[in-house]
Amino acid sequence: MSASAHGGEGGGVHHGPVEPFLNLTIPGTEYQLPIYHFVVTSWVIMFILALTAWLATRNMHRLPKGVQNVWEYIVEGLFGFFGGIMGESRARKYGPFLTTLFLYILLSNYSGLIPGAAMIKGFVPPTSNVSITAALAILVFLSIFYYGIRAKGIGFFKHFFQPMAFLFILNVVEELVRPVSLSLRLYGNVYGEETIISELGKMVPLIVPLPMMLLGVLLGAIQAFVFALLASTYIAGATEEHH
């Protein structure tokens, strides 16, 4: 059963006000910093990625095995995918950032399909919350400028005046729309899937939600690929050298 299909304290799709997982009181003040459930899940996912990456690289072998073999297979596959978009040299330069984005989103999407996860306090799939998808989209937006300026210097800003200078405003609007589109596309798909499985689980428990959960495995991967694909396309355009 999907985490969303339970709607318990630990996780699920929330339609009303969301109670924080805990409130941290800042020393010396009365101000409380709320820590929400999706933040806790996000920390767990980041810890898993960091731990497995450390295990894969702490004692590397020429003939990979175990965790190293899995990580090398994933990284080589993704670098090959990004290489087809931006070329091998740039894929190796920007691949670590794009690969991290893809893996984080993939695990976030799949976290909503873990059986019984909703019974765990603090559990909510991060990508079902718009603040997480917005943060990821803003990160991509900033990376476009960072990598673009590093690759081209001040020349990066020339594309805002191309092909005609009077299109400057339209080009700026297009640039600003990108993170909004990235954020809402990912959030809408994940949240919609979680909501459908939750409602089906209430009507016909254990039977109807199962096919949707299996479909969610495919859709979760597709959404992660689409986000990474668009991010790599934007970075490729920002760092492309025109001759």
**pLDDT tens-digit readout, 108-138:** 998 877 766 655 666 788 998 899 999 999 9
Which residue in the block uniquely carries the two structure tokens 């809408």? 188
Domain ranges of the chain: 3-239
Average pLDDT on 100-105 reads 95
Average pLDDT on 137-158 reads 92
The DSSP secondary-structure symbol of 5 reads G
Res. 16 pLDDT band, cuts 50 70 90: very low
Average pLDDT on 160-170 reads 85
Average pLDDT on 142-166 reads 88
Query: Residue 15's pLDDT is what?
Result: 44
Closest C-alpha among 123, 117, 129, 146 to residue 213: 117
Mean pLDDT of the chain: 82
Res. 1 pLDDT band, cuts 50 70 90: very low
CA end-to-end span of the chain: 55
> Over 80: is that where the pLDDT of 92 sits?
yes
Joined together, the tokens standing for residue 138 give 């803003």
Inter-axis angle of helices 130-152 and 209-239, to 10 degrees? 20
Res. 90 pLDDT band, cuts 50 70 90: very high
Dist. CA 39–CA 21, nearest whole Å: 9
pLDDT tens readout for residues 34-76: 888 888 899 999 999 999 989 888 877 766 677 888 888 899 9
> Over 70: is that where the pLDDT of 180 sits?
yes
- Rounded to the nearest angstrom, the gap between the alpha carbon of residue 165 and the centroid of all alpha carbons in its chain is 35
The DSSP secondary-structure symbol of 165 reads G
Query: Residue 11's pLDDT is what?
Result: 46
Res. 240 pLDDT band, cuts 50 70 90: confident
Closest C-alpha among 91, 10, 74 to residue 44: 10
Long-range contacts formed by 116-120: CB under 8 A, 24+ apart: 116/1, 116/6, 117/3, 117/10, 117/11, 118/1, 118/2, 118/3, 118/4, 118/5, 118/6, 118/7, 118/8, 118/10, 118/11, 118/12, 119/6, 119/8, 119/10, 120/10, 120/11
